[in-house]
Structure 1
């Protein structure tokens, strides 16, 4: 009894299926936004990794040139 009461509070299936349209539109908008955000994060991460690698090579080159001098 209690289990079905709890589920009935959260589940709502409208008879008029056109009520799903706004939810679907907002879902698609947020999905596209999440995808774009993830792509931007990955792109920024790759740039930062390239900068870190370049800095690491520069530090290693400075150490080897200091040891040779």
Structure 2
């Protein structure tokens, strides 16, 4: 797969923190970011856990509405 570029804007403080952390782990900043992205949950797991749109409009979670509707 061909590598693509990513341009982000972060504060100088955060950039320095990332650089120092990368150096301490003997990794590049790119490697750290790729490792973090690889640890994100898969898209399919996110879709199965997402609340339905009606619940979002009501502003309550499924758990809250099921508790409220108990006898």
Is the TM value for this pair above 0.5? no
Normalised by the length of structure 2, the TM-score is 0.26
Say which structure, 1 or 2, has more relative contact order (CA 8 Å, 6+ apart). Answer: 2
Q: Which has the larger radius of gyration?
A: 1
Normalised by the length of structure 1, the TM-score is 0.26
